[in-house]
């Protein structure tokens, strides 16, 4: 059993230590973990006990996908040909595609259409082992449609738990072209206070990137969010080094995400400030960047690296965190053990839930996977398939033999 036991985020070398218990048991009561130990736990078994034997399989914490753009409409397979011809991400946006094409589709979509599409994605995530997901808005980009998307995330009745983030600063909407300040004022003065009042998001995020929001604009949005009491996240240094990691550190952000082009100073600043780097190697692959975030360097410097899917319709259209775990290992050089820490305990801390989920420990939620794999290396080694046999969420079996049960 892979417990991923830890008193806090697993930093640096500690990411390689998964707190494995060979031949152990875990006791679940009322959705929580009552005990974890070596042996068979026979003292807990009476006539009411439901016993699951996971002999020969890996038992581990449910995956926490700490960076997704869950609620959106439409798809962008039309961009594939352009991408193969070498047209860049920002150029596709300038041609009216990219994020803005998803914004058009999302604005047109009804609440129910968005709900049903997101629910299908959550079903897939659950089947592939994700038990908690962070979901960013950012395809409405006006008051009405951002609120619509956040309300969809809140309304979703599903075993996968959602932690919401407002990402109004994802792109400059067409109606504010040439008037970034006008859009920033709308976010700061109207949208964010409403979202806070209605409890529609825990965090605020911004896409700090050339062609999107520059460092000053990002700072303005996030400082206002901080004043309102939101947790801060930041899409930082994805394509061009912008000083996003340094800004995340200065503002006391919970996490900085992407970081493919992060500077050495940025890594040091994150370490100093305890910012969690959320790395998205599926996106490096899908954008054909030929470059991954310097994960080994971060681990060497003692950071608590998290890895997430970045599920979105443009740069990483997959709900499968297991697939992205393979890129984390073979692309960024993490060991399978480090990858597991990155998608469980560290990911839980990246979304402010480290005390509740992310490891199999007494008192935590019983979010547990049983994998059809003899050991954790096998999860990375045999790639492109779903290893999930059983998913237990809040103590309840929700996937059995790889299939969702109701
Ligand atoms: O729709 O392209 N990077 N946001 C920042 C995205 C990718 C999502 C998209
Ligand atoms: Zn993203």
**Number of other residues whose CB lies within 10 A of the CB of residue 174:** 11
Listed residue (248, 208, 250, 200) closest to 228, CA to CA: 200
Both tokens of 323, joined, read 């697939």
- Ligand 1: centre distance to CA 250 (Å): 24
Helices in 252-294 by DSSP H: which ranges? 264-273, 281-286
- 230 Cβ inside 6 Å of ligand 1: no
Rounded CA-CA distance 374/383 in Å is 14
Question: In sequence order, which residues have a C-beta less than 8 Å from that of residue 61 and are 6 or more positions away?
Answer: 2, 3, 4, 344, 345, 357, 358, 359, 360, 367, 368, 369
* Residue 331 Cβ < 6 Å to ligand 1: no
CA distances from 329 to 131, 326, 379 (A): 21, 5, 11
Counting from 1 in the atom list of ligand 1, the atom nearest the Cα of 235 is 5
Contact indicator for 348, 42 with CB cutoff of 8 Å? no
The pLDDT value recorded for residue 391 is: 98
- Protein residues placing their CB within 5 Å of the ion ligand 2: 310
Task: Please state, as a whole number, how many other Cβ atoms lie within 10 Å of the Cβ of residue 46.
Answer: 6
Within 275-375, where are the H helices?
281-286, 295-300, 321-330, 336-343, 345-350
pLDDT of residue 381: 98
Distance from C-alpha of 329 to C-alpha of 97, rounded to nearest angstrom: 31
CA-based angle 223:225:230, to the nearest 5?
Answer: 130
The Cβ of residue 297 has, within 10 Å, a number of other Cβ atoms equal to 13
Return per-residue pLDDT of the chain as tens, 406 residues. Answer: 999 999 999 999 999 999 999 999 999 999 999 999 999 999 999 999 999 999 999 999 999 999 999 999 999 999 999 999 999 988 998 888 899 999 999 999 999 999 999 999 999 999 999 999 999 999 999 999 999 999 999 999 999 999 999 999 999 999 999 999 999 999 999 999 999 999 999 999 999 998 899 999 999 999 999 999 999 999 999 988 899 999 999 999 999 999 999 999 999 999 999 999 999 999 999 999 899 999 999 999 999 999 999 999 999 999 999 999 999 999 999 999 999 999 999 999 999 999 999 999 999 999 999 999 999 999 999 999 999 999 999 999 999 999 999 8
Ligand closest to the CA atom of residue 209: 1
Q: Give the residue, out of 137, 310, 316, with the most ligand 1 atoms within 8 A of its beta carbon, to mutate for a pocket test.
A: 310
For residue 312, the model assigns a pLDDT of: 98
- pLDDT, residue 211, reads 86
The rounded Å distance from CA 100 to ligand 1 centre is 10
384 φ, ψ to 5°?
A: 85, 0
| pLDDT attached to residue 137 | 98
| pLDDT for position 239 | 87
Q: Contact 254/222 with Cβ under 8 angstroms? A: no
Predicted confidence at residue 96, as pLDDT, reads 84
């Amino acid at each position: 059993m892979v417990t991923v036991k830890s008193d806090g985020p697993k930093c640096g070398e500690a990411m390689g230590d998964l707190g494995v218990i060979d031949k152990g048991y875990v006791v679940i009561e009322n959705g929580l973990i009552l005990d974890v130990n070596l042996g068979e736990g026979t003292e807990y078994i009476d006539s009411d006990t439901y016993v699951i034997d996971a002999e020969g399989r890996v038992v581990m914490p449910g995956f926490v996908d700490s960076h997704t753009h869950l609620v959106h409409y439409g798809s962008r397979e039309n961009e594939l040909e352009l991408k193969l011809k070498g047209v860049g991400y920002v150029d596709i946006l300038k041609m009216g595609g990219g994020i803005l094409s998803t914004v058009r589709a999302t604005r047109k979509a009804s609440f129910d259409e968005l709900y049903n599409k997101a629910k299908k994605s959550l079903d897939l995530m659950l089947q592939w082992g994700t038990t908690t997901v962070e979901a960013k808005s950012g395809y409405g980009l006006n008051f009405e449609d951002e609120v619509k998307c956040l309300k969809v995330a809140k309304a979703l009745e599903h075993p996968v738990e959602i932690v919401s983030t407002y990402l109004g600063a994802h792109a400059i909407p067409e109606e504010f072209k040439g008037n970034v300040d006008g859009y920033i004022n709308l976010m700061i003065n109207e949208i964010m206070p409403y979202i806070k009042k209605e409890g529609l998001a825990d965090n605020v995020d911004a896409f700090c990137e050339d062609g999107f929001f520059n460092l000053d604009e990002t700072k303005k949005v996030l400082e206002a969010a901080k004043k309102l009491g939101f947790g801060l996240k930041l899409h930082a240094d994805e394509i061009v080094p912008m000083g996003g990691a340094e800004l995340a550190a200065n503002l006391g952000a919970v996490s900085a995400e992407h970081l493919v082009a992060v500077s050495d100073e940025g890594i040091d600043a994150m370490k100093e400030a305890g910012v969690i780097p959320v790395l998205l190697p599926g996106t490096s692959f899908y954008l054909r960047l030929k470059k991954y975030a310097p994960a080994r360097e971060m681990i060497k410097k003692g950071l608590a690296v998290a890895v997430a899917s970045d599920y979105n319709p443009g740069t990483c259209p997959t709900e499968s965190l297991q697939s992205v775990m393979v890129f984390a290992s073979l692309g960024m050089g993490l060991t399978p053990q480090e990858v597991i820490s990155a998608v469980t305990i560290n990911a839980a801390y990246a979304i402010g839930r480290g005390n509740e989920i992310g490891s199999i420990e007494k008192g935590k939620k019983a979010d547990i996977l049983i994998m059809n794999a003899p050991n954790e290396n096998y999860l990375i080694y045999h790639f492109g398939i779903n290893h999930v046999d059983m998913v237990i969420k809040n103590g309840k079996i929700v996937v059995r033999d790889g299939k969702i049960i109701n």
